[in-house]
Amino acid sequence: MRRTGFAALVILSLGVGAYAIVAYALLPLGAAVHPDMCLTFASHDRLALYAHVFAATLALALGPFQFAAGLRAARPALHRWSGRLYLGVGVLLGGLAGLIVAFNAFGGPVARVGFVCLAAAWLFSGGKAYLAIRSRDVAAHRRWMVRNFALTFAAVTLRLWLPGLVGSGTAMELAYPIVAWLCWVPNLVVAELLFNQAPRRPTQPTPAS
């Protein structure tokens, strides 16, 4: 990953993480959300909601640095322990709590199914990444971690897509179900196309007849 792309990844991840801490730790619940969503927020299981938000914030904070090759080479023990926190707390706790929260998400059945699929895919890809590194399959571990962080990054892309749709005049009750899918499906497509493509084998010269 180029330095500018990595810097943007870090800035966006930490920025959204900081926003989540301010919105959920320092402000009353629902104070930072769209007015149409306040009633739904009030009906959430608070323990599950806070567990999801703060575990996902940890995953956002740690995730980009798992892909820093220099850090992996210089501090392998730090890489392993931060990876354990990322998967064991950020993804596992955040994903399980996210499943609970998703079943009561604003936006009706379309939004709820979208967020349930996101949480399930987040847990599944995290589990695959863990099993791969336990089997010492580093290549498979990296591929699954790329997919997993693409899903973690949905917390960022949701907050990029939603203001754009609402600002363009789309009603919140329509914009949110769209974003429930738009925040993560394109992320996975980009992860596969840009980062998880198998290296092309050099073309063998055709032997002369």
DSSP assignments along 5-71, one per residue: HHHHHHHHHHHHHHHHHIIIIIS-TTTTS-GGGHHHHHHS-HHHHHHHHHHHHHHHHHGGGGG-HHH
Report the percent of the chain where pLDDT is more than 70.
94
pLDDT at 208 over 50: no
CA distances for 121 relative to 16, 17, 155, 181, 196, angstroms: 21, 21, 14, 12, 17
C-alpha–C-alpha distance, residues 178 and 176, integer Å: 5
pLDDT at 203 over 70: no
More confident residue, 72 or 205: 72
The ranges assigned to domains in the chain are 3-30+38-194
Confidence of residue 196 (pLDDT cuts 50, 70, 90): confident
DSSP state at residue 111: H
C-alpha–C-alpha distance, residues 146 and 52, integer Å: 21
C-alpha–C-alpha distance, residues 94 and 98, integer Å: 6
Query: Tens of pLDDT along 142-176?
Result: 999 999 999 999 999 999 999 999 999 999 999 99
C-alpha–C-alpha distance, residues 93 and 102, integer Å: 14
Q: Which of 183, 120, 148, 165 is nearest to 64 (CA)?
A: 148
Report the percent of the chain where pLDDT is more than 90.
71
Give the angle 168-172-176 at the CA atoms, nearest 5°: 100
**Cα end-to-end distance, the chain, whole Å:** 43
pLDDT at 49 over 70: yes
Token representation of residue 42: 């009030």
Confidence of residue 35 (pLDDT cuts 50, 70, 90): confident
Q: Residue range 33-62: average pLDDT?
A: 88
